[in-house]
Structure 1
Amino acid sequence: MLSCYPTPPKVSQEFSKNPTLYPSSSVLLCFSECKLKLRSKTSFQCYCTENENTHEASSQGFSALSTDIPWDSGSIWRTMAFYMFILHIPLSFGGLSVVAEILHEPHLDPQTEILSLLAVQILELIGTLFLLQWTAKPQYKFINFFKANKLSKKRNWLLASVLGCGFLFLLVFITSILADRLIGPKAVNNPVLKEILLSSNISKATCFFVYCITTPLLEETVYRGFLLRSISATMKWQRAIFISSVIFSAAHFSSENSLQLFIIGCVLGCSYCWTGNLNSSILIHSLYNAMTLLLTFLS
């Protein structure tokens, strides 16, 4: 008669000879307890890591700048030094003297001076773009330098520019009043710049192009797009703005305007960090220079 119950499997001879090849119930129980402890410990470690990452992200939440930069960390300061001593200082502070030597003129007339300044700044801008492309990583497409990332696309850079510009005018006005009381009043307008503005219509148009287009594009590319973006990937954005603003102020070699230049650099840096879009700081810089030209012309 056939049995209705399945017959138990036969125990192999190998197991009967060596029962330790198969784990006993006590071993299985011990293994399960260890597994639970390991799982709980791993979960705790993951929780801590997640909290640390969340805290770090929240502290950097103001800045929309990407940590993926086109330049190696070791080449940032070499590139900046090359720009300062090979491009900026020779062209900005010696370019007009070279033009005067070429034209055999001891002094340039206002129109020739502003046209020469435009040519010098365009040359410096071209050299700067070539330098940044040359020192960037080989796989990096330099056209992406002026493109906004995903986070910055969610932020209104135009509104930030308007607010930043108004805040900048307010800060400069307050610091000007404080400087007049502490140091003493100084001339509002630049006599050389005013002479250029009053010389001819060509000078006015060229002056506007230099100070409202070429200069903002050049300086924002260097001090915000390159320097601030590069060092903010290795430190907190507040410290990066401070360092880049100090260098921006020092690069103008103007001791009497150093504080205002530092404030301008901070506002432009904050705008660029929050928007992640270089257009924002360029627009603020351009509007500020346009207001300066207008005040100089009307004063």
Structure 2
Amino acid sequence: MASSSIISLPIVVQSHRSTLSALPKLSASKIPVRQYHAFLLKRAPIFRRPYSLTQFSGVLGLPSTRKYPVPERGLYSICFYNPKEKSKSRFEGKETVLEWPILKRWDVPWQWQTVSLSMFACAISFVLTGLVQAAVTSYLGLQIGELSLDEKAELLFVDQAILTAIVLGVIYGFTSTFQPLPEDLFCYDPKEPFSLRKGWLLWAGVGLAGSLLAITLTGAVMTFFSGETPQRETDALVRLLPLIGSSNISTACLVGITGVLAPMLEETVFRGFLMVSLTKWCPTPISVLLSAALFAIAHLTPGEFPQLFVLGIALGFSYAQTRNLLTPITIHALWNSGVILILTFLQLQGYDIRELLQAS
């Protein structure tokens, strides 16, 4: 009789301090091996149950009559999941229109005060750098008219390198206080150049072809309405004509200025900082248009504004697609250095470049 009563008792799981009663069906040997994580979802209505903890005491480990009441408890819903399992959703890998990279905004950590002060500081740095360089040249007794063509080209390269370093330093100084920055801010990533979605070299080719087509159409429309051939980038080129094709050193310096330093400076300021900052308050397409307009105005050539504005739009959308500054820098570099190399080739072939530019 005593043995039968012992068998009918539930299994007692004992720890070093207290015990909890459990049914034989909930044996620990039947718990699944796979590890799951649980998180709280919802609290259900509270109800009372006569739970108690029974403490063992005595030499034989028999339960004492002292009971410890369990405080009022609520029932909670708990969800178990395995973090290693991938989602089987049929929407995995699909994107909506709003998730296209070309329409996404950047996560900009600074406010409009930083944007305004940074752009103002860049403009002041540009002016002051030119004045300081002129003063230093005069102080050193260098006469620009007496320099050879190669020396003039080298001096222009040094001036552009100093200007680029100073202006980029200003941008870095204003944004460094917000470190660490998001990964897609000031990104120069040479990886996966031909990726269909974010390949910087692939989309640079697409952007360059699109900009050429758009500028050609813009010129045709302006000619149709005004009856005159629109002014092109002849002002800057006329100042560089004596250096074009004069020697290999001059050509290398001009390509370094127009194909490396100037694109890196302008794209970092107008696309990498200004356009990205505007997306904090404006949709990305509007930010592209605003930055393109300021980019065209900054060149101080009103006759070239339509072409520069269209070029800025192509640069902006190409950058928005890849979120990699190497894309607009490559387009800008190919545009500038391509013109220099073509004119150099024509100069070596005996063509009158000045006459060709005036005729165009």
TM normalised by structure 2 equals 0.59
- Give secondary structure in 1 for the equivalent of 2:177: coil
- Give secondary structure in 1 for the equivalent of 2:119: helix
Aligned partner of 2:175: which letter?
Answer: A
1:146 equivalent in structure 2: 187
Matched ranges for 1:269-284 at <5 A: 269-284=316-331
- Paired residues, number: 239
Deviation at 1:87, TM superposition (A): 1.6
2:228 equivalent in structure 1: 184
Q: Which of 295, 298, 312 is the aligned partner of 1:251?
A: 298
Deviation at 1:71, TM superposition (A): 3.0
Deviation at 1:282, TM superposition (A): 0.6
Residue 101 (str. 1) matches residue 138 (str. 2): yes
* Bigger CA radius of gyration: 2
Q: Which has the higher strand share?
A: 2
Structure 2 distance, partners of 1:204, 1:178, is 34
Structure 2 distance, partners of 1:228, 1:163, is 20
Residue 162 (str. 1) matches residue 205 (str. 2): yes
Structure 1 distance, partners of 2:243, 2:287, is 36
Structure 1 distance, partners of 2:315, 2:233, is 22
Query: RMSD of the TM alignment (CA)?
Result: 2.9
> Larger deviation: 117-126 or 278-287?
117-126
Q: Per the alignment, do residues 278 and 226 of structure 1 end up closer, same or farther by CA in structure 2, a change over 3 Å counting?
A: same
Deviation at 1:146, TM superposition (A): 2.0
- Give secondary structure in 2 for the equivalent of 1:146: coil
Aligned partner of 1:166: which letter?
Answer: A
Q: Note the alpha carbon deviations across 1:63-106, whole angstroms, 9 max, x for none.
A: 3655322533321111111101x2223436x5664465243425
Matched ranges for 1:75-154 at <5 A: 75-84=114-123, 86-91=124-129, 94=131, 97-98=134-135, 100-102=137-139, 103-105=141-143, 107=145, 109-136=148-175, 138-141=177-180, 145-147=186-188, 154=197
Aligned partner of 2:321: which letter?
Answer: W
* % identical aligned pairs: 24
Q: Per the alignment, do residues 110 and 187 of structure 1 end up closer, same or farther by CA in structure 2, a change over 3 Å counting?
A: farther
Name stretches of at least 5 consecutive residues in structure 1 with no aligned partner: 1-21, 23-56
Aligned partner of 1:68: which letter?
Answer: D
1:46 equivalent in structure 2: none
Q: Which has the higher helix share?
A: 1
Matched ranges for 1:1-299 at <5 A: 58-59=97-98, 61-63=100-102, 67-84=106-123, 86-91=124-129, 94=131, 97-98=134-135, 100-102=137-139, 103-105=141-143, 107=145, 109-136=148-175, 138-141=177-180, 145-147=186-188, 154-180=197-223, 182=226, 184-185=228-229, 190-297=237-344, 298=346, 299=353
Deviation at 1:58, TM superposition (A): 3.9
> Larger deviation: 65-74 or 218-227?
65-74
> Larger deviation: 265-274 or 99-108?
99-108
Deviation at 1:207, TM superposition (A): 0.5
**Larger RCO: 1 or 2 (CA < 8 Å, sep 6+):** 1
- Give secondary structure in 2 for the equivalent of 1:287: helix
2:349 equivalent in structure 1: none
TM normalised by structure 1 equals 0.70
Asked whether the equivalents of residues 107 and 182 of structure 2 are also in contact (C-alpha less than 8 Å), the reply is: no
Structure 1 distance, partners of 2:118, 2:176, is 13
- Give secondary structure in 2 for the equivalent of 1:256: helix
Q: Note the alpha carbon deviations across 1:125-169, whole angstroms, 9 max, x for none.
A: 211222122212535147952256xxx985222221111101111
Structure 2 distance, partners of 1:137, 1:281, is 23
- Give secondary structure in 2 for the equivalent of 1:198: coil
Asked whether the equivalents of residues 71 and 137 of structure 1 are also in contact (C-alpha less than 8 Å), the reply is: no
